[in-house]
Structure 1
Amino acid sequence: MNKTHFIEHLRFALSAQLETAKMAAKTAHDTATHEENIAENKYDTLGLEAAYLAQGQAQRVNDCYLSIQQFEQSFKEVISDQVSVGALICVEYEAGTQAWFYMGPNAGGLVVEHKQFNVQVLTPHAPLGKALLNKHCDDEVTFNIAGKSQQLTIVNVL
Structure 2
Amino acid sequence: MTQENSNIDKFDSMPFIALIHHISRNKLKYSMKNPNHMDMVHEGRYLMEIHKRKNLSQDDLANIFGQSKGTIAKALRKLEDKEYVEREIDENNRRKYILNTTEKGEELAILLTKDLEDWEKTVGIDKLDEKTKSQLRKIARKSEEILNDN
TM, length-normalised to structure 2: 0.25
Which structure has the greater CA radius of gyration? Answer: 1
Structure number with higher helix proportion: 2
Structure number with higher strand proportion: 1
TM, length-normalised to structure 1: 0.24
